[in-house]
Structure 1
């Protein structure tokens, strides 16, 4: 099942530390799974971190997905919280490209996917819970490449992270449960959250 491409249409002028860790994780996991990862609509002013640019199979493109796949839009699946149909293993036969809009990890969610929805890509949903971008790509990959149905993937919802002995914070997202029973997060993410816990999450993205 090689040959899949995961695309995040980056809808921001900047790349925050949270997104940087997520994108690096997506790039590495995609490469390990024999897939490609692309950031589209990258503004010329945005400098991507070297660690990301050196991951095999990663590309950054200034063009939008609409332009990149103008001739074969039917092979692109938009992961859309408002879609009526859940993503299934069979969709791996129908689609080669899986598209994620902007920053999925907004809380509360802003419907940034609507911009892509208007462009006519067919949509699929990943259940009712809000996911971080790397989680959404991970779940999609498990479904379409490893053929695990959406409802058979183990999840952790709204995990509580201990900041210090007196303080903890609840993450308002769904994560994939790792073999150790803990939510799978990018390397360095817990430290970033702890460091920035006194700020609002809005500063992290």
Structure 2
């Protein structure tokens, strides 16, 4: 059985799409395309105008329908990535499931339990360890586990990295990231600049 070609679904549980979400979604689309996987953004309100950087992206499939409707006949093949699940994701789950489902805004700090709306629908859940991840990191880790067959505990992570805003200020990211070949946390292109700009804005508000 082939382990590539999995489908990763982010159920977008927000009426808007923030700039940082669009960077995460763009990263997921590019990495999915490169690895032979499919990325689906579901439950996108018809009123939502996709930002320019997502409008013509290969590897991004946008659906106004929700997960229940799209995979009505495949419920047992859908795995919900759920921080509250009792079982951790394993490479063997790549044999059982075809679709891996992520709830809306995972990268909340403190985490709001957005996944509970999907949990109520009765999907089987798996956990990616105890530490909160951004959405693109959660998809990346899931892909490494189920397509590349690497157990979660063998993946190198960086927790709560500090980003320097300027020579006096830094900000700590309250998430777990995959460690890149350069020893730094893998983040979407442009994300660090966005965080620094946001931090500078909020510092200005304090002054």
Equivalent of 1:94 in 93, 96, 99: 96
Conservation of the 8 A alpha-carbon contact between 1:27 and 1:52: no
Alpha-carbon distance in 2 for matches of 1:30, 1:62: 20
Conservation of the 8 A alpha-carbon contact between 1:101 and 1:112: yes
Give the structure 1 partner of residue 205 of structure 2.
none
How far is 1:49 from its partner? 2.6
Alpha-carbon distance in 2 for matches of 1:17, 1:24: 11
Alpha-carbon distance in 2 for matches of 1:36, 1:199: 36
Alpha-carbon distance in 2 for matches of 1:31, 1:91: 21
Conservation of the 8 A alpha-carbon contact between 2:33 and 2:58: yes
Q: Secondary structure at the match of 2:15?
A: coil
Give the structure 1 partner of residue 53 of structure 2.
51
Equivalent of 1:28 in 30, 37, 40: 30
**Length-normalised TM-score, structure 2:** 0.94
Alpha-carbon distance in 2 for matches of 1:199, 1:132: 22
The alignment yields a C-alpha RMSD, in angstroms, of: 1.0
**Length-normalised TM-score, structure 1:** 0.95
Equivalent of 1:110 in 109, 112, 117: 112
- Unaligned runs of 5+ residues in structure 2 are 203-207
- Unaligned runs of 5+ residues in structure 1 are 201-205
Q: Secondary structure at the match of 1:8?
A: strand
Alpha-carbon distance in 1 for matches of 2:80, 2:183: 30
How far is 1:185 from its partner? 0.2
In the comparison of the two structures, how many residue pairs are matched?
200
Conservation of the 8 A alpha-carbon contact between 2:165 and 2:200: no
**Runs of 4+, deviation exceeding 3 Å:** none
Question: Is residue 77 from structure 1 mapped to residue 79 from structure 2 by the alignment?
Answer: yes
Q: Which deviates more, 114-123 or 53-62?
A: 53-62
Q: Which deviates more, 138-147 or 42-51?
A: 42-51
Conservation of the 8 A alpha-carbon contact between 2:22 and 2:53: no
